[in-house]
Amino acid sequence: MTDHHPTAVIVLAAGEGTRMKSARPKVLHMIGGRSLLGHAIAAAQGLSPTHLAVVVRHERDRVADHVKQVCPQAVVADQDEVKGTGRATECGLEALPADLSGTVLVTYGDVPLLTTTALQELVVAHEQTASAVTVMTARVPDPTGYGRVLRDETGQVVGIVEQKDADEAQRAIDEINSGIYAFDAALLRSALAQVGTDNAQGEKYLTDVVGVAHREGRRVGAHVLSDLWQTEGVNDRVQLAALGAELNRRVVERHMRAGVTVVDPATTWIDVEVAIGADTTILPNTQLLGATTIGANATIGPDTTLTDMEVGDGATIIRTHGSLSVIGEGAGVGPFAYLRPNSRLDAKGKIGTFVETKNSTIGAGSKVPHLTYVGDATIGVGSNIGAASVFVNYDGVNKARTTIGDHCRLGSDNMYVAPVTVGDGAYSGAGTIIRKDVPPGALAISVAPQRNMLGWVVANRPGTAAAEAAQAAATDEGEGEPA
Ligand code: UD1
Ligand code: CA
């Protein structure tokens, strides 16, 4: 975008988040398939800062582990028992090289909608005006609870006062401190050293750095952000849901603008990392989650949840629940299919109605159309699996695989008792229990001969509707033996 890369971004994530009423640390709650902290880190990473530090304290190990997972190059900084955003920032600085110079950004781990673009604009405004501090601010209808931005008669920012320390006139100010700032590194370090804890909350406030810079005659700027969602933090689960819905609205809109048809944006949920090709249609009540990728010209939904799935161009997936599986080009899935991890359906294949698959490959053009469980199987190309079949993969102790060749025509209600192999071009009859390998081109049948016991119903179920119907139809006719 520009060459304004900050020297460091410090993400504050040491707070407790008590209003979440959760055993899980607040910053690890998820929206859009990513933790709140993950969103903050991703926005920071977009700036390619030289250093990225995350300040932790509450549930320290869980949060630190998560940071290592989502951003291994980030430095985890521990805040000590001194409270406040100022102390948190100082602890972040202490974890970075002592000779740090240039621009340092401070952001929060619980402000998930903030974008790289907004941060970039803050850095540019800060550096172009050669400011010592630039505060990201917003004008809001209800400023209650926020720090207020104090300006002098010329409009220059002179300080920030917290709600709890503000007088009535200050509380009437509607320009709030978002808590996101750009600082000159040296000023930030020296100013923090002068900030105490003499305030209503007994905390070391980062906001006091603004007043220090002003008193030292350094320039303090404000960058007003008009998109209020981007500075909104999560404090409780009501806000979590509201920000999650707004994030989703933005993600869905981005896909629509890129050429995806979304029939009902209100019931379509798309995680931030999902990719969708042009001219794909998403039908109502569909969730595309995790690292899912969908090709072009596909049709997904209605009522479909795909997690970490890869779907090829032109595929159709109707009323399906699937995860960690691959659907080939032009393939068809559902309605009412359940794809468990490591299922692969190749091009133009079919996984039909009431079919469950797991750890199985179904080759190009092969079809499993109805009422079937395919577990631990490899099916070649162009084969057809008859309705109501089961790949019997579990003997009560061990799992085993079934291999089906190419261009097989296998009957309905077959049981494939693994481990077993069916050769290319083989057939099987209805109701076959395939316990032995079937050679290529053979017809497998395992039927016990059927017996028709003539007159059995009239003799054994007299007076029933069945017996009356049988009598009316003259039961002793047809091929069979006496009952
Ligand atoms: C802070 C600002 C306030 C601003 C508001 C915006 C200060 C003193 N006040 O207030 O001006 O309007 O944010 O949301 O900075 N944190 C730590 N360590 C701490 C305390 C907080 O890491 O000791 C982190 C929290 O995890 C959170 C962020 O800093 O991510 C803000 O903390 P919070 O307690 O929500 O600050 P506010 O009182 O809301
Ligand atoms: Ca807050």
For residue range 155-177, list pLDDT tens digits in order.
999 999 999 999 999 999 999 99
CA proximity to 372, closest of 287, 2, 358: 358
Q: Which residue has the tokens 């097989």?
A: 408
The reported pLDDT for the residue numbered 174 is 97
How does the average pLDDT of the chain come out, rounded?
97
Q: Clarify whether residues 110 and 198 are in a common domain.
A: yes
Percent of the chain with pLDDT over 70: 99
Q: Clarify whether residues 154 and 19 are in a common domain.
A: yes
pLDDT at 481 over 90: no
R_g (Cα) of the chain, nearest Å: 33
Distance, CA of 309 to chain centre: 11
pLDDT at 113 over 90: yes
Q: Hey, how many other C-beta atoms are within 10 angstroms of the C-beta on 65?
A: 12
Query: For ligand 1, what atom is nearest to the CA of residue 176?
Result: 12
Q: For the domain that residue 416 is a member of, what is the CATH number?
A: 2.160.10.10
For residue 366, give its domain range. 260-444
440 pLDDT tier (thresholds 50, 70, 90): very high
* 465 located within any domain: no
* 252 located within any domain: no
Q: List the structure tokens of 313.
A: 């161009």
- pTM surpassing 0.85? yes
Ligand nearest to the CA of 236: 2
> What residues flank ligand 1, with Cβ below 6 Å?
12-15, 55, 79, 83-85, 87-88, 108-110, 146-147, 160, 162, 176-179, 205-207, 233
Ligand nearest to the CA of 147: 1
1 pLDDT tier (thresholds 50, 70, 90): very low
What is the total count of domains within the chain? 2
Query: For ligand 1, what atom is nearest to the CA of residue 162?
Result: 11
The DSSP bridge partners found for residue 180 are 136
61 pLDDT tier (thresholds 50, 70, 90): very high
The reported pLDDT for the residue numbered 478 is 77
Q: Clarify whether residues 224 and 264 are in a common domain.
A: no
- Measured in Å, residue 203 CA sits from the centre of ligand 2 at 14
Q: Clarify whether residues 197 and 270 are in a common domain.
A: no
Q: Clarify whether residues 194 and 315 are in a common domain.
A: no
Q: Clarify whether residues 195 and 339 are in a common domain.
A: no
Distance, CA of 346 to chain centre: 25
Give CA–CA dist 467/247, Å, rounded. Answer: 66
164 is in an annotated binding site: no
Instruction: Tell me which H or E stretch contains 377.
Output: strand 377-379
φ, ψ of residue 248 to 5 degrees: the values are: -60, -40
Q: Clarify whether residues 156 and 37 are in a common domain.
A: yes
370 catalytic residue (yes or no):
yes
* 314 located within any domain: yes
* 241 located within any domain: no
* Tens-place pLDDT, residues 406-416: 999 999 999 99
Q: Which residue has the tokens 């659907």?
A: 327
Q: Clarify whether residues 12 and 158 are in a common domain.
A: yes
- Which of 85, 139, 146, 207 has the most ligand 1 atoms within 8 A of CB, as the residue to mutate? 85
Q: Clarify whether residues 189 and 118 are in a common domain.
A: yes
CA proximity to 356, closest of 328, 323, 383, 382: 323
CA proximity to 205, closest of 147, 143, 153, 128: 147
- DSSP-derived pairing of the beta strands 30-31 and 34-35: antiparallel
* 327 located within any domain: yes
Distances (CA, A) of 114 to 30, 88, 177: 15, 20, 14
pLDDT at 232 over 90: yes
The reported pLDDT for the residue numbered 304 is 99
Distance, CA of 409 to chain centre: 39
CA proximity to 276, closest of 248, 243, 313, 302: 313
Instruction: Tell me which H or E stretch contains 248.
Output: helix 237-257
Distances (CA, A) of 169 to 139, 148, 185: 16, 11, 33
φ, ψ of residue 62 to 5 degrees: the values are: -65, -45
Q: Which of 231, 246, 280 is the last residue of a domain?
A: 231
- Number of residues that this document lists for the chain: 483
CB 36 within 8 A of CB 29: yes
427 is in an annotated binding site: no
- Measured in Å, residue 107 CA sits from the centre of ligand 2 at 12
Please provide the DSSP assignment of 29-79 as one string.
Answer: -EETTEEHHHHHHHHHHTT--SEEEEEEBTBHHHHHHHHHHH-TTSEEEE-
pLDDT at 307 over 50: yes
pLDDT at 4 over 60: yes
Q: For the domain that residue 159 is a member of, what is the CATH number?
A: 3.90.550.10
* 480 located within any domain: no
> What letter represents residue 149's amino acid?
V
* 478 located within any domain: no
The reported pLDDT for the residue numbered 479 is 84
Instruction: Tell me which H or E stretch contains 191.
Output: helix 185-194
475 pLDDT tier (thresholds 50, 70, 90): low
Question: Across residues 250-264, what is the average pLDDT?
Answer: 98
Give CA–CA dist 363/241, Å, rounded. Answer: 42
Q: Clarify whether residues 227 and 269 are in a common domain.
A: no
- Euclidean distance between the first and final Cα of the chain, in Å? 88
Question: Across residues 49-65, what is the average pLDDT?
Answer: 98
* 351 located within any domain: yes
Q: Which residue has the tokens 């109502």?
A: 284
CA proximity to 345, closest of 357, 371, 358, 327: 327
The reported pLDDT for the residue numbered 222 is 98
Q: Clarify whether residues 298 and 215 are in a common domain.
A: no
Q: Which of 231, 251, 282 is the last residue of a domain?
A: 231
Catalytic pick among 5, 58, 321, 370: 370
Distances (CA, A) of 196 to 126, 218, 403: 26, 20, 72
CB 344 within 8 A of CB 324: no
The reported pLDDT for the residue numbered 474 is 75
- Measured in Å, residue 148 CA sits from the centre of ligand 2 at 14
* Tens-place pLDDT, residues 188-229: 999 999 999 999 999 999 999 999 999 999 999 999 999 999
- DSSP-derived pairing of the beta strands 175-184 and 133-139: antiparallel
> What letter represents residue 256's amino acid?
M
Cβ-based neighbours of 173, under 8 Å, separated by 6 or more = 143, 148, 149, 150
Residues by chain with Cβ below 5 Å of ion ligand 2:
233
CA proximity to 284, closest of 319, 247, 321: 319
The DSSP bridge partners found for residue 481 are 453
Provide the CB-side half-sphere exposure for 157 (13 A, CA): 29
Q: Clarify whether residues 372 and 411 are in a common domain.
A: yes
